[in-house]
Structure 1
Amino acid sequence: MSQTANLIDRIYEAAADPELWPRVLEDVGAAADAAGGVILARRSDAWLGWRCSAALAPGLDDWLCGSGPGRSQATTRLLGFAGARFGFADSMEAFSEEEWFADPLMAEWGAPAGLGLAAATCIDTPSGDMVIVHMNRRVGQPRFGPDAIARLDAFRPHLARAGMLAARWRLAQLRAAAEALALLGLPAAIVDLSGRVLAANALIEGSAHVRWLPGDRLALGDAAANALLKRAVAELRDPAAAAVRSFPARGAADEKLIVHLVPATGRARDLFDGGFGVAIVAPIAAPCAPDGDLIRALFDLTAAEARVASGIAEGATMEQIAEQRGGAVETVRAQLKCVFAKTGVRRQAQLATLLASPSLRKGFIFPST
């Protein structure tokens, strides 16, 4: 088997095993005298994930996760040429050399990493993602000429098919996760960073408690709860954000519900593996206090706050909790305010209702995605 045929085989293998992308991109780049490359998945204005060869790795994660992409013109201008011809475009087609090295992409990441001129292409996938393949030469090397672009274009159909396969396999995994939650009796949907539903099980599709909006988006009938859901979705890209991700809601016929949005961002560099959340909208059964350790983990409570929350769930008053712990009522009251802030409720009765959720008692055992 020739080296080219072997590399094409490895491109398709990388679609199923993202760990193979760095070496594959290095070898594709070498065919055009490039230092290496990066493959990225993008939806709307959000980067979902990426993989790169070793030469492009220094500083790339921090740059893509920061404000740089929003200030750079590289993607818009370079891919404008690439998309028009369905192939790779050289950076000097869209920029003067001075403009290229002044762009934040190069000034803040490329040049410090010893990289110079580039070539890139974009590939649209059926899932709505855009796959971008970006190759860089080292600083001081000439631009990508017609021969180098032709060598890269020879690999583009295989990169396109591999990107589409990776996206489809990822979507199949998300659908399987939603169906697995249905087996637990949990109405669930997988949403991306923009709030678009990527997969949903039959329980949530047939639920009277949610409204389906244009663009494959869902909303809650309870306006206050829907506002919390929208905020949580908006902050999915940041697992450490302050958004309340578990909260009570009222459904049809004033039925009590519990809503959870669990971030599943994955590792930033895993292609098609980040930037989504699991939304669960489940009716509340008879009250039953969940395990204290589970309460603490789900809502990021301190040990003391979790004990107060458990006490409220069991029907104890603040005075009883203080007496049991040998502390002051004022201390318990202050801790309860922190619990309210972290769980998104305002009253003790709401907290007790929230902690009665069957999905809490089941322990949020999600399938691997």
Structure 2
Amino acid sequence: MLRNLYQGPLENIPWTTFLDQLKLCLASRYATFILRPPSQHVEGLTINTDGASAAVTDSYNQSFYNLDPFVGLPNRTVITLAEFVTDSDWLNSEFYRNFLEPVDVFHILGADINTSDGAQCRIRISRGKQDPAFTQDDKDLLTLFLPHLEQAVQLHMHLNRVESERNLYAGAVDQLAVGTIILDQDGKLLQKNRLAEHLLEEKDGIKVVNDTLQVGTARDSQAFRQLVKQALLSQKSNHPSVVEAMRVQRPSGRADLGIIVRSIPPTTWNEGKLCPSVAIFISDPEQESSAPQEIVKALFDLTPAEAQLAMLLANGLTLDEASDALGISRNTARAHLRSTFSKTGVTRQTMLVRLILRSVATLG
């Protein structure tokens, strides 16, 4: 059970295996772990064992949490509902009559865990009215698990923070229209972002064969493999990060791909296989900027028409092509451009394009 408790943060729905085992061990109807209590402003995050109704959980999160008397327990202390509320008050409470009696929950064993970094968790074990009340042995058993559950929650929170940061940075790279591929310590493909996946599916200058990247011609692939080998050697020997670059022609005749190969510095205690070792960054000149017009408009105080024109120019159109695309005259386009120059403080079209592409607009 301890092994499954610490494995919990890695499950698709955390701690379901442990909770199911705990339910059986304590001969209960339900084992519930509230990772985040509901409130007026925040929806609760609850993990239930098999058999618990999603509708019941939703009902608790939306309204009944306000009526729950079995909250605010002493931190890290296992107590029974009978020690907290009298049977008479419990039987006459609206919470019991309208929420728990219909699902035959009467006896509850529980504990609250408030961690040093702000988590407020609750574990609740439930039995029916005809079932025996929880004993001191039941309390002692749950008490044994509490410090381990608190530690597992802290691991879960740390992993979540790391994952949130990773997703944020990965999303930023996606917005910048840069393909990213991560290789493991054997040079095999480990991860890729959406643009890289799209480029690999096209097989136009870069593809995957047996989890190994191949680029351009046979000669290109040989040069690429050498760059990856150098990056891997640098990574394994803890040398400063190696950065190499090459261009790859595409069979279709479209613009060449630009490829950067760099080693990923290992962490101090990095070990085992499937460790990120080499990063491949791919630029496709034909990818258009994905900066939202509303963001460009807000950043530079442009009108909608000026923002539309600026985005078309940033994506490589000439002023004549942009005016045709917008269905406006060249004189009108020139007027929009002069106004945009005035607002952004630039004096040339190339400077405007550089300003937009290097601004935070591309992260919007």
| Higher relative contact order structure (alpha carbons within 8 Å, sequence separation ≥ 6) | 1
Normalising to structure 2: TM-score of the pair? 0.47
